[in-house]
Each structure stands twice: as structure tokens, then as C-alpha cells.
Amino acid sequence: MDNMIVYVDEAAYALTMLTPMLPVGKSRSPVRWIVVGCAPRVTHHVSKWVTHSARQSWRSKWANKVFSQVVPRLQGPGDSVITQVASGPLCDLTEALMAQYGASRVLDARRPKVGNEYQPVTRQHPPEVRGLWSYVAMMASTGMLLTAD
């Protein structure tokens, strides 16, 4: 059985990345999908006014919503889907999941967001460093595209 660890933070974006990877045909081997939900961070301002149990409740509701959209697409004949909400460093979680389930392929299906530096999911792939000038160039090119229309 093949193992596939997938990190998601938004169902629609994750499904666009996962759809071409879904195995097809009768000669395929079964896949164990390990879907890890990476809930959006709560801002410091909000966290001052919300209890820990309320944050955990919100995270579980968020995860149920995302998993309910992603899991049905991954379930095929002979496949199994395991869901989990991420907590702590993702590199450590990836290593723990690989130790528990064996050799696995890892897919980071989190939607990239401008100004948001994601932590890496494996130690072999360090995070992409984006400086201020890359954002300035992106905004300038977007402005040029809009004026060209």
C-alpha cells in the first residue's frame, strides 16, 4: 500500500492539486491518504479575547468542513483516508507520520498567500524565502496587467 501525506488548508485549492494525482484503473495499488489539516492562524488580537477551548472548537469545526469536502474525492476502491489536524512544527509531524505509517510521499497542498511565510513540511525542502522586492515586483506586474486590459 502506498502512503501519501497531504497538507491542506483550503479544500478547493487542495482538490485542484490532488485531482491529477488520483489513481485510476483496476491495476492500481491501494493508497493510504493521510490528510493533515492546517487551520488558519488566529491573530494575536483575537487570541487575547478567545479561550483555548473556543479556539480548539473552532479548529475542529474548520477541520470537519475541509475534510468533508476533500475526503470523499480521495476514497477509492481499497483506499483508506486518515485525517488529522496539525499542531506544532510540520517537519516533526511529517517525521512522526512516516515513522508510524512507513515510507510516504508528501504533498504540500496549502494555498500560497502573499505575505504569509509557511513553515516547511519536510526538512529536505526549506521554506522559500521571499523578500520585500518580490512582493513589489508582483504588485507592479499585476498593475501593468490590469492597465493593459
Domain ranges of the chain: 2-148
* Type of residue numbered 103: A
Q: How far is CA 76 from the centre of its chain?
A: 21
Half-sphere exposure of 63 (CA within 13 A, CB side): 18
Nearest to 118 by CA among 95, 93, 91, 99: 91
Per-residue pLDDT of the chain (149 residues; tens, 9 = 90+): 788 999 999 999 999 998 888 877 666 788 899 999 988 877 767 767 888 888 888 889 999 999 999 999 988 888 899 999 988 888 889 899 999 998 888 888 888 877 666 666 777 765 555 555 565 666 677 776 666 65
Residue 118: predicted pLDDT? 65
pTM (2 d.p.): 0.76
* Residue 29, SS3 per DSSP: coil
Share in percent of the chain as helix, strand, coil (round to 5): 45, 15, 40
For 2-148, CATH gives 3.40.50
* Residue 10, SS3 per DSSP: coil
* Residue 33, SS3 per DSSP: strand
Would you tell me the crossing angle of helices 52-74 and 11-18 to the nearest 10 degrees? Answer: 30
